[in-house]
């Protein structure tokens, strides 16, 4: 830690500054390489005057002191998209926020939280802006708390988590969009004058058509190693909105928060409206550094058990779908053990009796073991798996039901639906109205009872297979426009309760593929399911996209039978994340099994480097018919390189791939691993030693002339 930061932090920690109309004051938020500066003008309006490199002395950074109002308010003199807009009880829709006080608290050597209190000059309205800076990770979290003391509820129509102002010659946005099974299409565009909005209106999930994360490059597109950019993501599992607005002076405002769409919020007096956190990093050294900042922050602060190890597992979904019984499962426990995985994960289809869950038309909501498939119950399965040397995990979809269920028969009013229109099904199911405390108690109890009865359950896959449509909450009555926001808050309240009781239990967040890929959810989950598409060719792009924002140990990647590629290719792609299998092991030819057993063993050896190491994206599959990614441990003594050849044209001349992140002076042994039984290493540099300098400047001949092939290389510093 730099001494000047500590010093600055200590001074600020002691300074709770009450504002009076006098000279302009500066609020300085720093990380090791970035700085964000606000200025309080003599009239106590708040301005954002700097976002960029952490240059010293701090006063240098305030040349543009009153460039743009921070957290701008609607209804006054601000003529662009506001961060906040409120309709008061008298019908006026104006706000005029002035700084009342600000204060920085030093939480520890690495983390300081700045709180800026804004008060309206006429109405009893308070907005507190929070900026939590993580010094060594170069990450800042920003959120707002809105409250009032008017006589009746006010209506807030805009409620951003963050408003950032940037001034550059040009702005280049990288967004990620898609659909089910084709998540994370990466697209770059230059922002032009006016507004560009990226949002979602899916209610129970954030991601599907648009992803709640972006890269914003300044003065030209950034590369992996060069260029200035901001990488940001919203920690919210529901409707989100990013607004990028370039004004007449070519300044850019970036608003990030919950989507205000259909969500005018009725806020009761003396109640806090807390926005979700917007998490961002500024990098002057390209996208790779921005990602490493976010990965470090996530593992240290953002993801449940981010520093812990993960279970390798065998899942039965692709292999059996709904068709299994105790005997089949018992065989699968053996297969999980044979492969060498830590855990068996029982997927959808194990529950419901009156309307058995034999396909996706019935049974959802009736969480009792199906007596025909599992006559001896879950407890027996847990015991049997444990006796066979594997842990047992289970699939749940707690927020949903099929209308064909006992739960629906008993409680037809526990679902989200419009009272005067027909129910609208997606995957034959409806969303439970968890805003209703009775319903959220039911959901909590269902999970809690299951874990209490079966303490051996070692893992949960929490699914959510539909977005909201025709959504109305029977519970909310007249406050229907609170629905989208209150739903996500209720979900987090259930998860909060569960985490208090089960703080360690590993859980995967899944939403019909990659519908929930956000740090709002990952506070409670150890990993997420990025896509139902496990074709390794597509997965290279999908995993590449997520890797901008999430570390490898949070991205669940399974070897399945999707795609026609070799087992080696499928395995080498899945090893880039948290490795699992969802494949019929019993039908594997002997060599496939041998290869997979070796792969699981190698993965276990290397998972600390992959999951905890620094990631370097070396070759972008969107730019070439090949891809390469590597991970390096913190003392640069071990690295793993994954290289994939996609669909090269005849006689493509590949250049060697230059590595990154090694120590130039160190000598490294290069070894190709994950070789299919009976094949030889194809890497010319296999089993030879090279300096880090050589590997980073000359590189390795990892790309092949053959389409859909892959090479995995273990790089170890000589003792
Ligand atoms: C959707 C998930 O993405 C799949 O992995 C599987 O769990 C199914 N749901 C089960 O219904």
Q: CB–CB of 533/539 below 8 Å?
A: yes
Please tell me the distance from the alpha carbon of residue 610 to that of residue 555, in angstroms, as a whole number.
11
| Mutation to probe ligand 1, out of 205, 350, 463, 507 (largest number of atoms < 8 A from CB) | 463
Is residue 196 a contact partner of residue 244, using CB atoms and an 8 Å limit?
A: yes
For the annotated catalytic residues, the residue numbers are 463, 532
Q: How remote is the CA of residue 526 from the centroid of ligand 1, in Å?
A: 18
Q: Please compute the mean of the pLDDT values over residues 294-311 and round it to a whole number.
A: 98
Rounded to an integer, the average pLDDT of 322-329 is 97
Position 498 scores a pLDDT of 98
3-state secondary structure of 347: coil
* Contact (CB, 8 A) for 526 and 305: yes
Report the percentage of the chain scoring pLDDT > 70.
95
615 Cβ closer than 6 Å to some ligand 1 atom:
no
Find the 512 Cα to ligand 1 centroid distance in Å.
Answer: 6
Q: How many CB atoms lie within 10 A of CB 599?
A: 26
Residue 19 preceded by cis peptide, ω within 30: no
Report the DSSP pairing between strands 313-315 and 578-581: parallel
Q: Please give the Cα distance from 441 to 430 (Å, whole number).
A: 18
The string of pLDDT tens digits covering residues 387-427 is 999 999 999 999 999 999 999 999 999 999 999 999 999 99
The tens digit of pLDDT for each residue in 663-705 reads: 999 999 999 999 999 999 999 999 999 999 999 999 999 999 9
pLDDT at residue 11 greater than cutoff 60: no
pLDDT of residue 142 exceeding 50 = yes
Q: Residue 395 CA: which ligand 1 atom is closest?
A: 7
**Distance from residue 348's CA to the centre of ligand 1 (Å):** 7
- Check pocket membership of 395 for ligand 1, CB cut-off 6 A: yes
Alpha carbon 298 to its chain centroid, in Å, reads 9
| pLDDT at residue 65, rounded to an integer | 56
| Cα 137 to Cα 45: distance, rounded to the nearest angstrom | 30
């Amino acid at each position: 830690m730099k001494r000047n930061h500590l010093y600055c932090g200590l001074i600020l920690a002691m300074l709770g500054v009450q504002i009076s109309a006098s000279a302009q004051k500066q609020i300085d938020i720093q990380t090791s390489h970035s700085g964000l500066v606000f200025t309080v003008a003599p009239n106590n309006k708040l301005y954002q005057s700097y976002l960029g490199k952490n240059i010293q002395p701090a006063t240098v950074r305030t040349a543009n002191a009153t460039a743009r109002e921070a957290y701008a308010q609607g209804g006054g003199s601000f003529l662009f998209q506001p961060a906040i807009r409120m309709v008061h009880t008298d019908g006026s829709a104006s706000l005029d926020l002035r700084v009342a006080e600000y204060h920085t608290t030093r939480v520890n050597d690495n983390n300081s939280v700045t709180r800026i209190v804004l008060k309206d000059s006429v109405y009893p309205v308070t907005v507190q802006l929070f900026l939590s800076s993580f010094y060594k990770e170069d990450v800042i979290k920003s959120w707002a708390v809105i409250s009032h003391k008017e006589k009746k509820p006010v209506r807030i129509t805009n409620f951003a988590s963050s408003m950032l102002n940037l001034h550059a010659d040009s702005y280049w946005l990288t967004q990620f969009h898609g659909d089910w099974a084709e998540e994370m299409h990466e697209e770059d565009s230059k922002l032009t004058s006016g507004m560009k909005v990226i949002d979602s209106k899916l209610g129970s999930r954030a991601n599907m058509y648009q992803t709640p994360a972006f890269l914003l490059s300044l003065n030209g597109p950034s590369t992996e190693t060069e260029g200035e950019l901001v990488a940001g993501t919203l920690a919210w599992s529901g409707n989100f909105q990013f607004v990028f607005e370039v004004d007449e002076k070519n300044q850019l405002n970036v608003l990030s928060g919950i989507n205000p769409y259909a969500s005018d919020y009725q806020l009761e007096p003396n109640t806090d409206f807390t926005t979700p956190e917007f998490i961002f990093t500024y990098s002057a050294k390209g996208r790779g550094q921005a990602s490493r900042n976010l990965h470090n922050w996530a593992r240290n602060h953002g993801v449940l058990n981010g520093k812990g190890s993960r279970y390798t597992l065998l899942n039965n979904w692709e292999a059996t779908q709904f068709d299994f019984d105790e005997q089949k499962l018992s065989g699968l426990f053996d297969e999980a053990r044979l492969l060498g995985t830590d855990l068996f994960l029982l997927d959808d289809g194990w529950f419901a009796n009156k309307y058995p869950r034999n396909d996706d038309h019935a049974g959802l909501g009736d969480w009792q073991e199906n007596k025909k498939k599992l006559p001896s119950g879950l407890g027996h399965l847990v015991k049997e798996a444990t006796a066979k040397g594997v842990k047992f995990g289970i699939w749940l979809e707690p927020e949903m039901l099929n209308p064909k269920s006992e739960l629906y028969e008993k409680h037809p009013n526990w679902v989200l639906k419009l009272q005067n229109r027909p129910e609208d099904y997606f995957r034959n199911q409806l969303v439970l109205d968890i805003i209703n405390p009775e319903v959220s108690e039911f959901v909590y109890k269902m999970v809690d009872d299951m874990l209490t009865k079966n303490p051996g359950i070692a893992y949960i896959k929490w699914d959510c297979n539909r977005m909201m449509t025709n959504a109305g909450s029977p519970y909310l009555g007249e406050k229907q426009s609170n629905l989208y926001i209150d739903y996500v808050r209720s979900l987090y309240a259930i998860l909060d309760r569960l985490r208090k009781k089960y703080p360690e239990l590993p859980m995967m967040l899944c939403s019909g593929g990659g519908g929930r890929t956000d740090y709002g959810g990952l506070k409670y989950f150890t990993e997420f399911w990025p896509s139902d598409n496990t074709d390794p060719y597509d997965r290279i792009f999908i995993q590449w996209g997520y890797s901008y924002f999430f570390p490898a140990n949070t991205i669940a990647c399974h070897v399945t039978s999707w795609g026609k590629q070799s087992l080696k290719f499928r395995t080498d792609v899945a090893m880039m994340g948290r490795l699992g299998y969802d494949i019929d092991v019993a039908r594997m030819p002997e060599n496939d099994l041998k290869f997979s057993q070796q792969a699981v063993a190698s993965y276990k050896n290397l998972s600390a480097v992959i999951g905890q190491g620094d990631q370097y994206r070396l070759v972008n599959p969107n730019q070439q018919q090949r891809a390469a990614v590597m991970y390096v441990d913190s003392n640069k003594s071990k690295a793993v390189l994954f290289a994939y050849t996609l669909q090269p044209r005849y006689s493509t001349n590949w250049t060697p791939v230059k590595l990154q992140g090694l120590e130039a002076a160190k000598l490294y042994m290069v070894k190709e691993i994950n070789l299919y039984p009976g094949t030889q290493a194809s890497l010319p540099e296999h089993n030879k030693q090279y300096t880090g300098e050589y590997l980073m400047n000359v590189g390795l001949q990892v790309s092949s002339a053959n389409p859909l092939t892959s090479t995995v290389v273990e790089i170890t510093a000589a003792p």
